[in-house]
Chains A and B, each alone.
Chain A
Amino acid sequence: MLRQIVAIVKKDLKQARRDPKFMGPSLIIPFVFLLVYVIMWTSVGGGESFACGLVVQDNSPEANEFAEIVENMVSTTNYTWFSIERYELITADQLYQNTELIAYIVIPEGFGNNITSGKNATVIMYINNANDDVVKNYVHRFEAAVLLFNQGAVYPDFDQSDARISINEAFSLTSTPTNIQYMAAVAISLSFMACSLTSQAMLTASEFETNAIHDTMNSPTPRLALVLGRTLAAIPRSFIALFISAPVICIGMNVYPTGNILVLIGILLLTALALAPVGELIGMKLRNREQALLASVLFVVVGFIAGGGMAPIGLSPPLIQSVVMIFPTTHTLILWARVFFNDTLLGLTTSALALVVIWIVLSIVVFQLMKREVERG
């Protein structure tokens, strides 16, 4: 069986080398997205308007004063402030877990006492988004609120010498990238996904267009060898565009991965596996290289946008969020963004498993469909 797997891998790679059209979109699409994104954020500015909860657990005048400042503050910049609504802690947490609140602020009991006694006063902000300027927007507002609180919101000279509280920010995540950093990072994975999907779709379309797939499918090759051979060939092929796009993006945008490179490669590996049957499905149904190229580009772009490439999926309605979770691109972006900016292995299991499940299920389904297509052919 090993001999047959090797033969399939060698054949697929030779074909890819001799018809490298798939490299085009793999290199163009990420840079187009990057360009659009950079123009958008530098001309419009960051900041988005989302609901933020406020939980005031302290009844002291200081706590009320601080809460009113947070609630009534008006933006004087081009950054859009978020709306604030008060909730009980349980309600706020529930809404936050359901992603109906993008963030909530807790002013805990003892806040006023700590200020009057000169101790550290803690305010906790939960932000359901760790991948763009939304975080910065919330923190900026919080910082501005502290400044206003310190000066009583009346002193025009912003004298902080007798400030009642000072800010000591502590983030649970090591870094929260800017939108443009985030975009640069996901553009690398976009390049990989485009390369992976278009190459597989074009190869399969070509095999069905010429009916060459019949030769392979009608041979005494075990079915498992066919699936493994085709999938294994997809892995090195998917990485080809990355050798160009990754260094260009990293150097050009001055964005470098914080997380473990091996883990990042592992994420791409899982992505290649999960996208291989999708590419086969596209190629099999279209049976035309050019159409397969266009369709796979469309799939990647839609999957990228819907999966949180340009805006966090936590911001979309719950129904849409559930739907996009069936796309392998969504899980790739979740994993990629998390590991690219954080040296962590936490929180990766669900999406990693999802990619493996997508690969296995789709491989079985697509192979059955291929058999049927060959029977009909």
Chain B
Amino acid sequence: MISLPSIVEISNLTHIYSGDTKALDKLSFSVEKGEIVGILGPNGAGKSTTVKMITGILKPTTGSVKVSGLEVSGNLDAVRKLIGFMPQETALYEDLTAYETLEYHAELYGVPKEEVQDRIAKMLELAGLTHRKDDLVKTYSGGMKRRLALVRSILHDSELLILDEMSLGVDVQSRNLIWNQVRRLKSEGRTIIFCTNYMDESEALADRVIVIDNGHLVASGTPTDLKREYVGEYLIEVLIEGMDSEKNAEWLAGKVQLEVEKVSDPLNGGPRTAWIRSKEGHADLPIVIARIGESGLTVKQASMREPSLGDVFLAITGSTLRD
């Protein structure tokens, strides 16, 4: 396999906020050119801090961040020209129009004067905002603002695009447009790093997923690899009648000879749902139904699904609530 050059190299990155809060602890990973990498993690895991380090907003306490071979902290302006950043907040000037917003951005990033108008027109087209280009941003919906923020971040033709919660709070149509734009950018050979709390977004877009928790890198790989490694390939869901409260997940696992993730405990004492992990999937399903039947219980319903990235995420980071 040919290894592509890394566009982002992070090594032993540590950041301590004032008050001794360690946001990142010796984090290391790299992103190859042309890759789409999704950064996942619970709230406060260190995703945004990582992104801020790459864009140069925050300085590392220790460790190093390189973009296109340039150390970020010593080459801030050069690195910023290489990066298109869409922050979590839309961060738009409400009293400017979409056209003026893009024009202002083009001036700040030094887009060649003769290209400014064409590029803005193209970006407005991509965002589906050409017909509203002269309206003030404060009159836009959340989705329109997000789309504008996205095209603003690519206006200066950045090599690396960093998107922090790209589809936060937008409708399905806008999300679809944003995803399509991300795919299009990937096909143009751009590198994209995004942070998200939406697992389906990572699954749909990411070539590779990095999971960060408590400032540490806890998992990295393609979505398929992570599913295989952390959850198993399938999740069998069965609705069982006659399973009294004394029979728990452990008991059921003994009967079906498979790992039982959990068993529901309905308050009304009705049928209970069990989630069973299976590597074989289709082959295991009739066996599970038969073994439950042999135990004197009745299977009312059975279904099977491939594990999602959400399952992976919970398996890695646990289900404990975070601040």
B89 proximity list for chain A (CB < 8 A)? 210-211, 214
B94→A216 contact, CB < 8 A: no
Task: Give every chain B residue within 8 A of A78 (Cβ-Cβ).
Answer: none
A210 nearest in chain B by CB position: B94
With known contacts A7-B108, A14-B96, A220–B81 Cβ distance under 8 A: yes
Shortest Cβ distance from residue B53 to the other chain A in the assembled complex, whole angstroms: 11
Contacts of B48-87 to chain A: CB distance below 8 A:
52, 55-58, 76-78, 80-81, 85, 87
Query: Which of B52, B92, B103, B107 is A212 in contact with, Cβ under 8 Å?
Result: B92
Interface string of B102-118 (1 = CB under 8 A from A): 01110111100000000
Do B109 and A219 touch across chains, with their CB atoms under 8 A apart?
Answer: yes
Instruction: Give the shortest distance, in Å, between B79 (CB) and chain A (any CB).
Output: 8
Q: What's the tally of chain A residues with a CB closer than 8 Å to chain B?
A: 27
By CB atoms of chain A within 10 A, which of B56, B81, B96 has the most?
B96
Q: Chain A residues with Cβ under 8 A from B55's Cβ?
A: 218
Look across to chain A and name the residue whose beta carbon is closest to the beta carbon of B93: A212
Q: Is A140 an interface residue (CB 8 A)?
A: no
A374 and B104 in contact, given A14-B96, A15-B95 (Cβ under 8 angstroms): no
**Which A residues are CB-close (under 8 A) to B87?**
211, 214
Residues of B close to A15: CB separation below 8 A: 93, 95-96
Q: Which residues of B contact A14 (CB under 8 A)?
A: 95-96, 100
Given A215-B91, A218-B57, A220-B81, also A7-B109 (CB < 8 A)? no
Does the CB pair B110–A215 fall under 8 Å? no
Name A11's contact: one of B77, B80, B104 (CB within 8 Å): B104
| B105 touches which of A206, A213, A215 (Cβ 8 Å) | A215
Q: Which residue of A lies closest to B108 (CB)?
A: A219
| Cα A217 to Cα B80 with chains together (Å) | 11
Given contacts A11-B96, A18-B136, A210-B92, contact A215 B109 (CB under 8 A): no
From residue B36, how far is it (CB to closest CB) to chain A in Å?
A: 22
Q: Is A220 a contact of B105 with CB atoms below 8 Å?
A: no
Residues 268-290 of A contacting B (Cβ, < 8 Å): none
A3→B105 CA distance, assembly (Å): 12
| Separation of A83 and B95 alpha carbons in the complex (Å) | 59
Give Cα A210–Cα B137 distance, bound, in whole angstroms: 11
Which of the residues A210, A217, A219, A221 comes within 8 Å of B93, measured between beta carbons? A210
Task: Tell yes or no: B152 within 8 A of A by CB.
Answer: yes
A375 at the interface (CB under 8 A from B): yes
Instruction: Point out which of A206, A213, A215 has the most chain B C-beta atoms below 10 A from its C-beta.
Output: A215
Q: Do residues B57 and A212 form an inter-chain contact, with CB atoms below 8 A? A: no
Partner of A7, one of B77, B90, B95, B104: B104
Bound together, the chains give a CA A210 to CA B89 distance in angstroms of 8
Contact with A along B35-52 (1 / 0, CB 8 A): 000000000000000001
Proximity bits, B123-145, A CB within 8 Å = 1, else 0:
00000000000001000000000
Interface flags for A155-181 (1: CB within 8 Å of B; 0: not) read 000000000000000000000000000
Within 8 A of B (CB), among A1-31: 3-4, 6-7, 10-11, 14-15, 18-19
Q: Which residues of B contact A218 (CB under 8 A)?
A: 55-57, 80, 85
- B80: chain A residues within 8 A (beta carbon): 218-220
- Taking the nearest CB of chain A, how far is it from the CB of B81, in angstroms? 5
Q: A347 at interface (Cβ–Cβ under 8 A)? A: no
Which of A7, A206, A207, A375 touches B57 (beta carbons < 8 Å)? A375
Question: Restricting to A337-377, which residues have a CB under 8 Å from any CB of B?
Answer: 374-375
Contacts of B78 in A (CB 8 A): 220
Instruction: Identify the 10 closest CB pairs spanning chains A and B, nearest first.
Output: A7-B107, A220-B77, A211-B89, A220-B80, A219-B108, A211-B91, A18-B95, A15-B95, A212-B93, A214-B91
Interface, chain B (partner A; CB < 8 A):
52, 55-58, 76-78, 80-81, 85, 87, 89-96, 100, 103-105, 107-110, 136, 152
Q: List 21 A-B contacts (CB under 8 A).
A: A4-B108, A7-B104, A7-B107, A7-B108, A14-B95, A14-B100, A18-B95, A18-B136, A206-B94, A207-B93, A210-B91, A211-B90, A211-B91, A212-B91, A212-B93, A213-B91, A214-B57, A215-B91, A218-B85, A219-B80, A220-B108
Binding site for B on A (CB under 8 A): 3-4, 6-7, 10-11, 14-15, 18-19, 206-207, 210-222, 374-375
